[in-house]
């Protein structure tokens, strides 16, 4: 039938399709959903394998740091009162202590040489740095008189005490945390398992038999994006218009993955089967289409306990939707708490003007440059939702909310891309 290529997703009676939502509403729906899903299960890994993983236990100090009173300097340890009493005669040198040595008691009226990190001998109450002393006839003399009790002594527990909370459950571990775990004698640590995601690209143009065959780009792009987040990704391409083939593939993915991602096949064309097939499989629609640009077709379904993110087929739009919706969701799903982050928004002055449509929130590819301590946010030319070159020239996105505008010189925030 002529014109039959164009259908409407709402024509499927199986699928209750909610109205298009505003961008913030879509994010709120996802956030609310996040509250109720079970987190991933956990596993133990050796701490040398733990960087990049999300901690699934609280780490409280089982031993303090420093573990004992130790010297902060290479120098001489003695009793302040002894040195005061000795005056210009100085204190006779008796013994030496290096880090790793056992620490004997210090006899009265003597000094001992001590290296950084070595235990303070019982009886000593200060350390004077080598360069502030002179040695004559086996006696230590002070070049300056300002010694005091506790000088250059790192007290046991001054960094943290036994029982202190060191690392909290939900923390994404990196080099900063591994030395803490090593110090606490942890050989293994409990972390959340890596989530498993299947990415399914959909489009007859990717089929080997298509006359105008295209190279499929989305699964490559999304796999790299998610893998650098610690996600195990399997890529699939459904290069046919067959609903049966798509059904079979999505059913298999639902078996093997924690989360499904589809690209393409969610528009109004007759070959856009993704939502129909998911509805047939029993999925519910959380939202269908978002008032945003790019990314208007963005749809999220729930298939049993599993989330299905249905991304637009245009790779530029798919990438931006994945950055805005999927990455934050996956981080939460993987147990990560999102408090102090190193990837903060970057604030800067806009070098461009932009007016968002009344009902559409725009996300613009930008990069940030620094000049005299000020960040300048510059727009990258884009030809639209399909543009992938603009993403390579950008380092993040600026949001211009529906019905608002950005003027040259306005302060704005760049949401940095993930690596």
Show the tokens assigned to 287: 């939202």
Stretch that binds a second copy, among 26-34, 66-74, 275-283, 285-293 (CB under 8 A): 66-74
Out of 11, 96, 405, 407, which residue is the one contacting a second copy (CB under 8 A)? 96
Q: Which of 323, 321, 311, 328 is nearest to 200 (CA)?
A: 311
From residue 102 to residue 141, what is the string marking binding to a second copy with x (rule CB under 8 A)? Answer: xx---------xxxxxxx----------x----x--x-x-
Nearer residue to a second copy within complex by CB, 237 or 286: 237
Q: Is residue 294 near a second copy by the rule CB under 8 A?
A: no
List Cα–Cα distances, 238 to 4, 139, 317, in angstroms.
22, 85, 19
Helix (H, G, I), strand (E, B) or coil at 30: helix
Q: What are the two backbone dihedrals, phi and then psi, of residue 155, each rounded to the nearest 5 degrees?
A: -75, 145
Q: Is residue 375 near a second copy by the rule CB under 8 A?
A: yes
Q: Is residue 347 near a second copy by the rule CB under 8 A?
A: yes
Show the tokens assigned to 108: 């009265």
Nearer residue to a second copy within complex by CB, 29 or 166: 166
Nearer residue to a second copy within complex by CB, 14 or 214: 214
Out of 74, 196, 232, 302, which residue is the one contacting a second copy (CB under 8 A)? 74
Q: Is residue 328 near a second copy by the rule CB under 8 A?
A: no
Residue 63 DSSP one-character state: S
Stretch that binds a second copy, among 29-37, 189-197, 253-261, 264-272 (CB under 8 A): 264-272
Q: Is residue 176 near a second copy by the rule CB under 8 A?
A: yes
Q: Which of 226, 277, 225, 246 is nearest to 15 (CA)?
A: 277
From residue 302 to residue 321, what is the string marking binding to a second copy with x (rule CB under 8 A)? Answer: -----------xxx---x--
Q: Which parts of 183-212 interact with a second copy (CB under 8 A)?
A: 183, 185, 203-207, 210-212
What span, in angstroms and rounded, lies between the C-alpha atoms of 155 and 368? Answer: 45
Q: Is residue 24 near a second copy by the rule CB under 8 A?
A: no
Stretch that binds a second copy, among 263-271, 287-295, 299-307, 400-408 (CB under 8 A): 263-271
Show the tokens assigned to 264: 């393409």
Any residues with CB less than 8 A from the CB of 314 and at least 6 apart, and which?
A: 294, 384, 385, 386
The label of the residue with tokens 């610690």 reads 230
Q: Is residue 367 near a second copy by the rule CB under 8 A?
A: yes
Nearer residue to a second copy within complex by CB, 149 or 228: 228
Out of 16, 81, 89, 224, which residue is the one contacting a second copy (CB under 8 A)? 224
Show the tokens assigned to 277: 């097939």
Out of 158, 244, 256, 359, which residue is the one contacting a second copy (CB under 8 A)? 158
Q: What DSSP string runs through 248-285? A: HHHHHHHHH-SEEEEES--SSBTT--HHHHHHHTT-EE
Helix (H, G, I), strand (E, B) or coil at 87: helix
**Min. distance of Cβ 282 from a second copy in angstroms?**
27
Out of 156, 218, 350, 361, which residue is the one contacting a second copy (CB under 8 A)? 218
**Min. distance of Cβ 396 from a second copy in angstroms?**
7
Q: Are 354 and 410 in contact (CB under 8 A)?
A: no
Rounded CA Rg of the chain: 31
Q: Is residue 288 near a second copy by the rule CB under 8 A?
A: no
């Amino acid at each position: 039938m002529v014109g039959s290529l164009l259908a409407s997703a709402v024509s499927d009676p199986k699928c209750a399709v909610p109205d298009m939502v505003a961008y913030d509403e879509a994010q709120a729906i996802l956030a609310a959903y996040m509250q109720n899903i079970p987190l991933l299960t956990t596993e133990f890994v050796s701490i040398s394998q733990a960087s990049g993983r999300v901690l699934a236990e609280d780490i409280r100090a089982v031993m303090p740091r420093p573990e004992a009173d130790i010297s902060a300097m290479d120098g001489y340890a003695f009793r302040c009162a002894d040195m005061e009493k000795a005056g210009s005669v100085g204190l006779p040198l008796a013994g030496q202590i290096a880090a790793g040595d056992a620490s004997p008691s210090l006899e009265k009226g003597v000094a001992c040489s001590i290296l950084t990190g070595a235990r303070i001998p019982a009886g000593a109450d200060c350390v004077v740095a080598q360069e502030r002393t002179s040695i004559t006839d086996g006696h230590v003399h002070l070049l300056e008189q300002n010694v005091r009790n506790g000088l250059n002594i790192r007290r046991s527990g001054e960094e943290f005490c036994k029982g202190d909370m060191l690392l909290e459950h939900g923390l994404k571990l990196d080099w900063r945390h591994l030395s803490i775990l090593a110090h606490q004698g942890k050989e293994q640590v409990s972390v959340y398992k890596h989530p498993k995601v299947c990415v399914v690209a959909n489009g007859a143009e990717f089929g080997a038999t298509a006359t105008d065959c295209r190279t499929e780009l989305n699964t490559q792009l999304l796999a790299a994006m998610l893998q650098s987040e610690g996600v195990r990704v399997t890529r699939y391409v459904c290069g046919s218009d067959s609903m049966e083939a798509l059904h079979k593939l999505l059913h298999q993915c639902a078996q093997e993955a924690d989360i499904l991602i589809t690209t393409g096949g969610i528009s109004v064309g007759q070959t856009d089967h993704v939502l129909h097939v998911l509805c047939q499989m029993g999925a519910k629609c959380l939202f269908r289409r978002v008032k945003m640009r790019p990314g208007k077709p963005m749809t999220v379904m729930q298939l049993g306990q599993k989330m299905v993110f249905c991304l637009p087929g245009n790779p530029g739009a798919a990438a931006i939707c994945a950055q805005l919706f999927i990455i934050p969701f996956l981080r939460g799903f993987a147990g990560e708490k999102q408090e102090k982050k190193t990837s903060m928004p970057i604030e800067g002055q806009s070098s461009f003007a932009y007016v968002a449509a009344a009902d559409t929130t725009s996300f613009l590819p930008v990069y940030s440059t620094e000049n005299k301590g000020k960040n300048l946010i510059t727009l990258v030319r884009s030809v639209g939702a399909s543009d992938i070159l603009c993403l390579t020239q950008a380092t993040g996105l600026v949001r211009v909310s529906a019905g608002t505008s950005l003027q040259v010189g306005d302060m704005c925030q760049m949401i940095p891309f993930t690596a």
